[in-house]
Structure 1
């Protein structure tokens, strides 16, 4: 249930990224407004994460999770039926509100349910879900946009949301509810958690900027269709998922410091190569190689950061810890998109 919620949130962001050129053309959006189709979602998402996390700790994780899914589903319906850019942006902001409730509660449901040796496996599955969502979302987004039109990238969320609400209602409240009487902020102000969240901010900026740039580069510069773009990015998403899956084994063998160091260096090397390949006359093989190197480092790095950002946190603060981590990642995502738009990293169609 928790992973399905995370799957829905991540897939939506990626599907919309692939559909951006079609949305801009159909609604005659400016480049700035096109960027806000992404940033409107990210800002409301990031801005309400802590409030949603606190509500989850006080009212119950399952209740807030279900409410978030309901809001997200209704906003998706409005986005798919939007008659103009203003309505679409409003729907995206509303989707961010729903996602703000889904993301931290999907993680806190796991951290309060699984302990001991089961916890790393649960966190690995949650981390891998994002990458698996990327693998499916990019291709599904390309297929839907090419065959059904961009509006269905929103409407497709509706039946998934309805099913998820039904599944949530079927779970006994006693399994997933934690009712704290205190709100211990000091538990998430430890040095290790602060370092993990700062690193997650940087990672969020890099991941969002890379996906945004690659999607627009492949369509606007190389002239690929949405379907071809999704297919081209599929190997990258699969490598991200693989990295998240093997991270627990690497942690046992090497330790967290070594895994995060290697992951960071690999991701940075891939990012530099990726920027160079998009701003020069390089072949497809070089671009693909740079993308896979970046994905390998990022995939390995994600799960240790999630674990570090939530380790040692009592159930009473599980929602808070998850919310702080999600805020860090979303702030990074906004900064990443703003940076690439402001710097003109991806040229428009010629």
Structure 2
């Protein structure tokens, strides 16, 4: 095929009957996937390095948690705004801005000399990730037509699923090797390489993307509301649901988001979050289910990691390596999932996946103080991996299926909001149950190891219930394949 024919295939991806997957499509997919790795891996990579950061920069216990939470609050708070910005300003342009911001923040975080600077830069990293994340899915929906789109999103979803695992492993290797600062510094050359790839291989945005109006008030309300809700959820896991630091931001955030619905439906001429999106069954069902599935993934990486380190006494590297089989399962089933979606439809695949993941989470509850890696870690996490692989791709696909091209950025942001806020809320609920039960056992004279294990067991049971609920919300998804045949 000549270069002119390749360019024509890239420029007209919607005509599925004439679409030919070229080398350029592979390169575009590689660039988008690499960008997606950056924002997902940074959620997990810092977890194993927190003790070293605390000793180096003099963090307090409460302040240390904001190395993780500062990223999540900014990420979750800015997703809707950044998703809509891509629809209006251009997806490639917004992706490049996000990558540049992420590069600068990573460099500053790696060179931080005090705790405050590190936390602030983690927030800036989160804002950069909010610019990057929705653009990656939106770009795939724009570049590839329905059939090949399933294959592209399968690869994207596989990478997203394994990024958290890779983050734990890479964090352990860097922390025990050159030191915790390289967790951030390594982002700099990688991100620069992705920027070069995006400039060279991604299509320029249409010229008319700059001419559309922007709902500034809606953007301010949505960003403030989402930020406060995520902040309140994060505070709940630390101070409890009854604390003022939890209730105040949650109430204000919910009120702002409630007004946002009124504003977007009746006031805004070009709304930040078009309410018409929720009339699309795939969008509503995908977001409701993703919130519950996200909570299961957060529980797995957070609670299971604590169990390995605090009860089984794994070091940071051993903890990360324990998730290698999970990543292999995710990669393997990511290749199979598009065919299942094309044959059985989104609803059936997600429903089965949620049930399998719930069973795996339930199996973790059988772990004891002398748990076996093969029986209590490897087996359950493999089962969970199968379930997650069967849910992540179909939900990501459903989130942008049937959405007009000029709304895919905000739709992609919305599914990420559901994943982050749902995961944070689910983890807060699970952590509250676990902490309360552990405290009760300690007060009754139970040993620390048994009390912790019993608390983690409660957490896994609640996590399994949340994943089981995802099977019910999956019924909101369409019965037939959602325009995503796997044969492309």
Same fold (TM over 0.5): yes
Distance 1:239 1:24, change over 3 A: farther
Gaps of 5+ in 1: none
Confirm whether residue 313 of structure 1 aligns to residue 403 of structure 2: yes
Distance 1:297 1:43, change over 3 A: same
Confirm whether residue 111 of structure 1 aligns to residue 141 of structure 2: yes
| Inter-partner Cα distance in structure 2 for 1:260 and 1:142 | 33
Residues 180-221 of structure 1 deviation map (CA, whole Å, 9 limit, x = unaligned)? 845571442123311210111111121122112233332333
Aligned equivalent of 1:70: 100
The size of the alignment, in residue pairs, is: 349
Gaps of 5+ in 2: 1-30, 213-269, 439-447, 453-488
Shift of 1:143: 1.0
| Inter-partner Cα distance in structure 1 for 2:208 and 2:374 | 50
Confirm whether residue 256 of structure 1 aligns to residue 286 of structure 2: no
| Inter-partner Cα distance in structure 2 for 1:38 and 1:98 | 15
* Native 8 Å contact 1:49 1:101 kept in 2: yes
Q: Equivalences for 1:164-203 in 2 at 5 Å? A: 164-171=194-201, 173-174=203-204, 179=209, 181=212, 185-190=274-279, 191-203=281-293
Q: Equivalences for 1:236-275 in 2 at 5 Å? A: 236-275=326-365
Q: Equivalences for 1:74-85 in 2 at 5 Å? A: 74-85=104-115
Confirm whether residue 41 of structure 1 aligns to residue 66 of structure 2: no
Aligned equivalent of 1:235: 325
* Segment drifting more, 134-143 vs 38-47: 134-143
SS in 2 for 1:112: helix
Which of 1 and 2 has higher RCO (CA within 8 Å, sep 6+)? 1
* Segment drifting more, 12-21 vs 258-267: 12-21
Shift of 1:320: 1.1
From 27, 39, 45, the counterpart of 1:15: 45
Shift of 1:20: 2.7
* Native 8 Å contact 2:353 2:391 kept in 1: yes
From 313, 326, 338, the counterpart of 2:416: 326
Aligned equivalent of 2:315: 225
SS in 1 for 2:144: coil
SS in 1 for 2:146: coil
Confirm whether residue 216 of structure 1 aligns to residue 246 of structure 2: no
From 371, 383, 401, the counterpart of 1:282: 371
Greater Cα radius of gyration, structure 1 or 2 = 2
Q: Equivalences for 1:117-196 in 2 at 5 Å? A: 117-171=147-201, 173-174=203-204, 179=209, 181=212, 185-190=274-279, 191-196=281-286
RMSD of the TM alignment (CA)?
Answer: 2.5
| Inter-partner Cα distance in structure 1 for 2:207 and 2:133 | 16
Shift of 1:116: 2.7
TM-score, normalization by structure 1: 0.91
